[in-house]
Amino acid sequence: MPAAVGMVEVKGLPPALAVADAMAKAASVTVVGYEKVSGARYTVIVRGNVSEVEASVDAGVDAVKRVNTEEDLLLSHHVIANPDANVVGVLPIDYREAVEEFNLR
């Protein structure tokens, strides 16, 4: 079964760490990486089955809202249930050797 991909984009490294931790703990997903988009913008990326990825993204969104700040740190979030093979091959969203021991698929 193809693995869904979930992403949460935030402003700042501490919120990105809070999001990644919450996403990993909330569901049976694998954190496959993060991207520093620009400046202080980070996207945390997880893979797994659709329902687990959806639960994980929801937990990440909730986590960033609890980060102590006066600024809104959540920039965007999205789940793709079945990413096309071309997308998986080109973008940094696939399982890789560094996360293989955590691969839950």
Burial level of 48, CB count in 10 A (0-12/13-18/19+)?
buried
| pLDDT reported for residue 105 | 54
Banded model confidence at residue 51, pLDDT cuts 50, 70, 90? very high
Residue 18 scores a pLDDT above 90: yes
User: What are the chain's domains?
Assistant: 4-102 (3.30.70.1710)
pTM value is 0.88
Q: Name the packing angle between helices 13-26 and 50-65 (round to 10°).
A: 140
| pLDDT reported for residue 87 | 87
Give every CB contact of residue 88 below 8 A, 6+ residues apart in sequence: 94
